[in-house]
């Protein structure tokens, strides 16, 4: 593939391309963020950044300001299926980090499904974010690719200037996080488990919810995720 360009979206045609990208990733049943809303949020200090190849939008990241000018909420990150394998997820997040630091933003928050181990690997292991907040049934019943799945979410905190985050962003070796693994292995395919064994999937989800809520109440936090074990690492 030709060289990739990472930059802010510009013009209504590119915002509409981001709408189409959302449908391609999350399905027609999922309501995309509309182009005009993204354009206005960008004008008011939000980030709508994209990965482009020959002018085509392959992935995008969407973040908006919060009541704290040093904190951004990262709302969406999506990559077209045919562009996966180009590391666009991590590269878009690193673009977001550079963008934020240039504007005095030091902390980015977002949520993700704690049962999606690919997302856990990106957010916690590749980027160095941490989590200490569990949000049960955060979005209620969902549509698109999330239809039929619970909407529990982990809220992650990404400290842009921390030693760990900086080291990972620069490709430097990072000491292994202390702490112990939560002895609960995430399923390899949560969609298949939900489809083929819904009772088992729901029981597993409730167990993970209880274990993580108890850990967070005790003052522990998630500091890493092991893709091979498919387990979370926690520390006090």
For residue 99, what are its two tokens? 């963008």
For residue 121, what are its two tokens? 């690997």
Rounded percentage of the chain residues whose pLDDT exceeds 90: 83
Q: Quick one: pLDDT at residue 63? A: 98
Q: What is the pTM of this model?
A: 0.92
**Could you tell me the pLDDT band of residue 31, with boundaries at 50, 70 and 90?**
confident
pLDDT digits (tens, 9 = 90+) for 135-175: 999 876 654 444 556 689 999 999 999 999 999 999 998 87
Distance CA 38, CA 13 (A): 12
Q: Quick one: pLDDT at residue 195? A: 87
Domains of the chain: 5-178 (3.40.630.30)
Q: Quick one: pLDDT at residue 138? A: 86
Distance CA 101, CA 120 (A): 23
Q: Quick one: pLDDT at residue 175? A: 79
Q: Quick one: pLDDT at residue 176? A: 77
- Mean pLDDT confidence for 29-45: 93
Note whether 72 and 64 are within 8 A (CB): yes
CA torsion through residues 182, 188, 191, 195, sign: negative
pLDDT digits (tens, 9 = 90+) for 180-225: 999 999 999 988 998 899 899 999 999 999 999 999 999 999 999 9
Q: Quick one: pLDDT at residue 148? A: 52
**Could you tell me the pLDDT band of residue 96, with boundaries at 50, 70 and 90?**
very high
């Amino acid at each position: 593939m030709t060289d990739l360009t990472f930059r802010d979206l510009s013009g209504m045609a590119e915002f509409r391309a981001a709408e189409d990208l959302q449908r391609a990733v999350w399905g027609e049943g999922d309501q995309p963020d509309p182009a005009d809303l993204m354009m206005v949020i960008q004008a008011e200090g939000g980030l709508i950044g994209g990965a482009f190849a020959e002018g085509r939008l392959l992935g995008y990241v969407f973040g908006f300001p919060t009541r704290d000018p040093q904190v951004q909420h990262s709302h969406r990150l999506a990559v077209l299926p045919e562009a996966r394998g180009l590391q666009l997820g991590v590269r878009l997040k690193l673009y977001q980090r550079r963008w934020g630091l240039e504007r005095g933003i030091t902390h980015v928050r977002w949520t993700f499904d704690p049962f999606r181990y690919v997302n856990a690997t990106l957010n916690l292991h590749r980027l160095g974010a941490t989590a200490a907040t569990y949000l049960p049934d955060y979005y209620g019943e969902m549509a698109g690719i999330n239809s039929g799945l619970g909407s529990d979410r982990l809220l992650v905190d990404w400290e842009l200037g921390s030693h760990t985050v900086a080291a990972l962003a620069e490709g430097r070796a990072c000491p292994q996080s202390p702490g112990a693994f939560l002895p609960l292995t995430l399923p390899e395919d949560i969609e298949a488990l939900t489809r083929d064994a819904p009772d088992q999937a729901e029981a597993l989800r409730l167990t993970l919810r209880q274990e993580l809520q108890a850990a967070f109440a005790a003052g522990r936090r998630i500091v890493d995720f092991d893709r091979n074990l498919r387990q979370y690492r926690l520390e006090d």
